[in-house]
Structure 1
Amino acid sequence: MPRILTALILREMTTTYGRSAGGYAWAILDPVLGIVLLSVIFSMFLAKPGLGSNFPLFYATGFLPFAMFSDLTNKVASSIRYSRPFLAYPSVTFIDAILARIILNTLTHMTVITIVIGGIFVLYRMPIVVNLAEFFEGMLMIVAISVGVGTLNCYLLTTFPVWERVWQIITRPLFLASGVFFLYDKMPYEAQHILWFNPILHCIAQLRRGVYPVYDAEFVSPFYVFGISIVLLLFGLLLLERNHRDMLER
């Protein structure tokens, strides 16, 4: 299994980053440019961000974890379609295909988040008071919900191709409803009552709690996020185990 995972990871590294000019550099430049754009636009209308006084840091702690969820979910969801030729071999299973994408893309995004947020601290000469335990708990929550949603979508996307379009429509409002721009604590009570059920909102708030020592985020419930993640993961694995052979023939 380790050799199979290594081979699948190396293949994806080559096909995803080896073919583009700059390779891994774009994995860093893309979110940096997005954060710069958000910071410039919102600094023109707001005196200060929702937390602290640094716009790039505030939007980095919202944009980067959301981008990680979106990309990791999509990568896990397309695992079987991406590795279909290799799944014809008896020694390669759909679990290998999923694990390879989880490992590579999780490490990639964690590296990008560390570099970008660390770079902001250095560039703006800000004191680094990061609670690593809170920060990495937020990262773990993002990985958990991404893997859970992605595994279930792996079955749905492969079995029902139209689900890809439906999923894109459903998730479009998530960027606005996940606390990237505004803090949950400052939203109207009616909105809080609905948005609390968005697990990505909990993940972003938890990560920000690690970066901003003054931010309590008492509403965050890791139990809720991990509970949903486990249910979705188990349900997705059950569907894949029962139907993966038929899915490979589609």
Structure 2
Amino acid sequence: MSDIGFVPIPPARRERGHWIVEGFATQCRVIGALIMREMQTRFGRHNVGFLWLFFEPLFLGMMVGLMHSAHGRSMPGGVDPFLFSLVGYVPFFMFRAIVNRAGSALHSNLTLLFHRQVTPVDVLVSRNLLEAASVVGVIVIILAGGAWLTGIWPANPALIFFCLLLMFLLCNGIAMNVAALVARWEVTERLIHPITYLSMPLSGAFFALHWLPTEIREILLWNPLVSLHEGIRAGVFGDAFPSYYDLRYVGWCILIVNLLGLLSLRTARRKLEIF
């Protein structure tokens, strides 16, 4: 039989590929263990504590929705103001929770960094995945509950969850930069909470770009959070009103902040007490 077309893989290349797969699997196990540890630390070993992971964003989102719907004002396209506010605030909760917790992530887990397999990136990713999972779970509850009560399904569920994935990646990159800043200058941790609260009015969580003049709309679109909120609302409400978002620009922002975050964490390691 002819061996034409068969090119054997060199042993060195096979070993390199095996090393990459094994390293990735090891890091996944590390992150999984860190997630379990974080859950036990924050919520204890009781199921009620674990449920708070989902109840907190859902409860806060419902309170915000009730406050906005109390005005009784109608919205374009017959959109319910309660649902509009709910699907705006809950994704922003992911941003606020991930960024706010990033400042204390490394210093509260310094002992774990004695282990060679645990890196600062692992600590941050495990925390961020936990926050993102709670928000995704709440969004599923909201969409399922809304469909059951009204019989109206979201216009584009794939767009919703894709924007939530982009939201997580963006928040993860910002969190790495915040953690690196706090590792260098601890005083900056006190500024994180006020900054995230002040960014809420400009995040697009509680307004649609369609309501604003074109000049202001173009300025706000420089904020990637605005595009993500617009994309989520487009996935929920469809063509009820026009949506404006640029996910390609969001992708470039994600790439930049994550690369800067990895570099910042690498240079900030020497500032941590154990290095």
Q: Is the 8 A contact 2:79 2:240 kept in 1?
A: no
CA distance in 1, matches of 2:174, 2:192: 11
- What's the TM-score, normalizing by structure 2? 0.80
Could you tell me which residue of structure 2 aligns to residue 27 of structure 1? 53
Could you tell me which residue of structure 2 aligns to residue 154 of structure 1? 179
Could you tell me which residue of structure 2 aligns to residue 67 of structure 1? 93
Q: Is the 8 A contact 2:155 2:236 kept in 1?
A: yes
1:142-166 deviations in Å (ceiling 9; x for gaps): 1121011111111002211121222
Q: Which amino acid aligns with 1:65?
A: P
Match of 1:228 among 237, 253, 256: 253
Could you tell me which residue of structure 1 aligns to residue 12 of structure 2? none
Q: Which amino acid aligns with 2:128?
A: I
Aligned residues: 249
Structure 2 residue 80 is the aligned partner of structure 1 residue 54: yes
CA distance in 2, matches of 1:198, 1:86: 35
Q: CA, structure 1 residues 129+111, in 2 after alignment: closer, same or farther (shift >3 Å)? A: closer
Question: In the TM superposition, what is the alpha-carbon distance from 1:190 to its structure 2 partner?
Answer: 4.1
Q: CA, structure 1 residues 193+38, in 2 after alignment: closer, same or farther (shift >3 Å)? A: same
CA distance in 1, matches of 2:249, 2:229: 14
Question: In the TM superposition, what is the alpha-carbon distance from 1:20 to its structure 2 partner?
Answer: 8.0
Secondary structure, counterpart of 1:24 in structure 2: helix
Secondary structure, counterpart of 1:48 in structure 2: coil
Q: Which amino acid aligns with 1:162?
A: V
Q: Is the 8 A contact 1:6 1:100 kept in 2?
A: yes
Q: Is the 8 A contact 1:5 1:100 kept in 2?
A: yes
Q: Which amino acid aligns with 1:164?
A: E
CA distance in 2, matches of 1:234, 1:242: 13
Could you tell me which residue of structure 2 aligns to residue 105 of structure 1? 131
Q: Is the 8 A contact 2:125 2:172 kept in 1?
A: no
Q: Is the 8 A contact 2:204 2:229 kept in 1?
A: yes
Q: Is the 8 A contact 1:138 1:207 kept in 2?
A: yes
Q: CA, structure 1 residues 35+102, in 2 after alignment: closer, same or farther (shift >3 Å)? A: closer
Q: Which amino acid aligns with 2:38?
A: E
Q: Is the 8 A contact 1:144 1:226 kept in 2?
A: no
| 82-91 or 150-159: bigger deviation | 82-91
Question: In the TM superposition, what is the alpha-carbon distance from 1:170 to its structure 2 partner?
Answer: 2.8
Please identify the structure whose Cα radius of gyration is greater: 2
Question: In the TM superposition, what is the alpha-carbon distance from 1:215 to its structure 2 partner?
Answer: 4.8
Q: CA, structure 1 residues 121+248, in 2 after alignment: closer, same or farther (shift >3 Å)? A: farther
Normalized per residue, the structure richer in helix is 2
Q: Which amino acid aligns with 2:251?
A: F
Question: In the TM superposition, what is the alpha-carbon distance from 1:237 to its structure 2 partner?
Answer: 0.8
| 178-187 or 45-54: bigger deviation | 45-54
Could you tell me which residue of structure 2 aligns to residue 194 of structure 1? 219
Structure 2 residue 131 is the aligned partner of structure 1 residue 131: no
Q: Is the 8 A contact 1:77 1:152 kept in 2?
A: no
- What's the TM-score, normalizing by structure 1? 0.88
Q: CA, structure 1 residues 126+49, in 2 after alignment: closer, same or farther (shift >3 Å)? A: farther
Q: CA, structure 1 residues 95+231, in 2 after alignment: closer, same or farther (shift >3 Å)? A: same
CA distance in 2, matches of 1:173, 1:50: 27
1:34-89 deviations in Å (ceiling 9; x for gaps): 33333333233242245643233211210110001111233445432232111012
CA distance in 2, matches of 1:185, 1:158: 41
Q: Is the 8 A contact 2:176 2:264 kept in 1?
A: no
Q: CA, structure 1 residues 114+243, in 2 after alignment: closer, same or farther (shift >3 Å)? A: same
Q: Is the 8 A contact 2:35 2:130 kept in 1?
A: yes
Q: Which amino acid aligns with 1:48?
A: S
Relative CO higher for 1 or 2, CA cutoff 8 Å, sep ≥ 6?
A: 1
